[in-house]
Amino acid sequence: MAPRAVGPYEILSVVGRGGIGTVYRARHRETGRLAAVKVLGPAPAIDATAARRLAREFEVLRSLDHPNVVRVYEAGVTEGYSFLAMELVEGLDLRAYLSPALDQGAVRAIPPREPSPAAPTDPGTMPPVAAGPAAIRALAALLDEPETQPEGCAPRESSPGVASPSPPPPTPEMLEALNRPGRITRMRTALAQVLDALAYVHGRGFVHRDLKPSNVMVDDARRARLMDFGLVKLASERDESITLQGRVVGTYRYMSPEQAQGHLVDARSDLYSLGVIVYELVAGVPPFCAPDPARLWHEILHAPPPPLLGVNPGADPALVRLASRLLEKDPDRRFQRAEEIREVLVR
């Protein structure tokens, strides 16, 4: 059952649910400011890894200030719930924003939801809040659950001789919608903003490690925000408190080969993930479509993606070249910096 309040925030409605928590649309009781509040718990419904990642996400976002990176407000623990309050971006994720099903020029943000009924709370009886990431880590230390690997992310023996089923090719109507000039313009603009965010984040030594369309939101002013920094790390750091040695974290379909193997990653791994996004947005299908993790892992490590022009013959040539170079298995053969890609994209 959803909490009616978390710390100083009144819960209004559900924005989304994930494997380790829920994001709510909420309002700060004193200031009236709307926020997106990511909530874990109550304990022991969460594991220690999730709590540590939430604390890490707050610490990293607190150090970042960029118009294309989501802003963070506060974090803490109250009544067993760990929470992170951040900027509420009311809009569409990148895939929905660029959906070919949307009419050209008719992209609008999702309208705000009506607040769900909630009983008024007397400020004098509000539960105490332990503020900051230290409080979340303290809660994590009390949890007895072992650190677990995300479901579906365990590399297993693959079957190289077994061909993976391919998704059906786009119909002529779909191809026409994918290649509409208005959609391509929106795509280039949104991707340029994502690259601005990545250049900023990478410039401060961080690697996002979970770049995918659902982690980019576009608001009604068409400004993109990079979201969900739960797996972020310093490029030079192997943070064992976040990821045990040998564990693979992230979303498999968007992982770089080096990340899928559990190797130390740098900014070029995020750029590979961006290549998967570009390919998917241009082709209408992802580059690797194996239905099970073992085959998907093998494709990421060894298989070339189907040629984009073979899937979408009318695709924007610059975006085709961009995706092809970003999806190189060898990081040295990719673009090395987000700024390089942006220069290509806005020519």
Active site residues: 210
Bridge partner residues of 17 (DSSP): 22
What does the DSSP assignment read for 25-62? EEEETTT--EEEEEEE-STTSS-HHHHHHHHHHHHHHH
How many Å apart are CA 79 and CA 102, to the nearest integer? 43
How far lies 63's CA from each of 44, 71, 187, 193, 200, in Å? 30, 10, 28, 19, 11
How many Å apart are CA 203 and CA 201, to the nearest integer? 5
CB 86 within 8 A of CB 38: yes
- Can you say how many angstroms the Cα of residue 99 is from the centroid of all Cα atoms in its chain? 18
CB 201 within 8 A of CB 208: yes
What's at 55, amino acid-wise?
Answer: A
